[in-house]
Amino acid sequence: MSTTPATPVMSQDELKALVGRAALDYVEPGQIIGVGTGSTVNCFIDALAGMRERIAGAVSSSEASTQRLRAHGIPVFDANDVGDLAVYIDGADEIDPRGYMIKGGGAALTREKIVAAQARRFVCIADQSKWVGTLGRFPLPVEVIPMATQRLIRQFAALGAQARVRLRDGAPLVTDNGQHILDVTGLQISDPPAFESMVNDWPGVVTVGVFAHQRAHVCLLGTPEGVRTITF
């Protein structure tokens, strides 16, 4: 026997589109918007195109988002040419009940953290699969200087974790900044601010994908019942 749900089940892509559109509520006319990276952000960028005449433009966190913004006719500014941003809108690989996140599944974590730091408010857009009690189920991305790779793998092993170089087409993936990514499994990150500070201090680490110091202020979580707004 099968049961028909009261509301049609929404796919993950539909939930991403839902929160991408919902994020428009956080965009004020005349603003320059901080824009993240990833498939959820792509939905936001496509929605933002509908109001491109009313915004001044964007600061982008990756070459991929820059291309998509420009394809929609949205001006993209260098981060150095603008002051503080009112809002930064980005996805996450995991987000916890304190607004701490793991990010970097799209390898854009360093520029994402830079643009997030420039913004007064971080609005995270995510489907409900990203909501976790404790960070660490998703392999933690860490952008590293290639000559430090093997030592950093050993440093993570000393914590009981396994770090692997992210590959693309059989070779180490090269980020927009010309560096490599380690993906680290076997972590349970119970104190994200302390963990972020510790790993960021290791020589050769460019950026660790724990966003605790640049945590979310608001999460728009896509659920089958609609968008849940969580403030931290």
The annotation status of 106 as a binding-site residue, yes or no, is: yes
| Cα–Cα separations (whole angstroms), residue 23 to 34, 87, 90 | 12, 10, 10
By rule CB under 6 A, what string of x and - marks binding of each residue 182-201 to ligand 5RP? --------------------
Q: Tell the smallest beta-carbon distance from residue 116 to ligand 5RP (Å).
A: 10
By rule CB under 6 A, what string of x and - marks binding of each residue 110-149 to ligand 5RP? --x-------------------------------------
Concatenate the DSSP letters of all residues of 165-191 into one string: E-EETTEE---TTS-EEEEEES--BSS
Which residues, numbered 47-106, are part of the site for ligand 5RP (CB under 6 A)?
90-93, 103-106
Q: Tell the smallest beta-carbon distance from residue 30 to ligand 5RP (Å).
A: 26
Closest CA to 119 of 219, 30, 25, 217: 217
Q: Tell the smallest beta-carbon distance from residue 189 to ligand 5RP (Å).
A: 16
Q: What residue spans of the chain are helical by DSSP H?
A: 12-22, 39-48, 63-71, 109-118, 149-158, 192-200
Q: What angle do CA 38, 184, 169 make, to 5 degrees?
A: 60
Interacting residue with ligand 5RP among 18, 21, 32, 36 (CB under 6 A): 36
Buried b (16+ CB within 10 A) or exposed e, 116-147: bebbeebbbbbbeebbbeebbebbbbbbbeee
112 is annotated as an active-site residue: yes
Contacts of 56 (CB under 8 A, 6+ apart): 30, 31, 32, 75
The annotation status of 39 as a binding-site residue, yes or no, is: yes
Candidates 14, 28, 112, 143; catalytic one: 112
Q: Tell the smallest beta-carbon distance from residue 124 to ligand 5RP (Å).
A: 8
The annotation status of 92 as a binding-site residue, yes or no, is: yes
- Tell me whether residue 74 or residue 102 sits nearer to ligand 5RP (CB atom): 102
Buried b (16+ CB within 10 A) or exposed e, 38-55: bebbbbbbebbeeeeeeb
- Tell me whether residue 29 or residue 92 sits nearer to ligand 5RP (CB atom): 92
Interacting residue with ligand 5RP among 45, 108, 161, 219 (CB under 6 A): 108
Task: Cite the active site residues.
Answer: 112
Residues that bind ligand 5RP (CB under 6 A): 36-40, 90-93, 103-109, 112
- Provide the annotated binding site for substrate: 37-40, 90-93, 103-106, 130
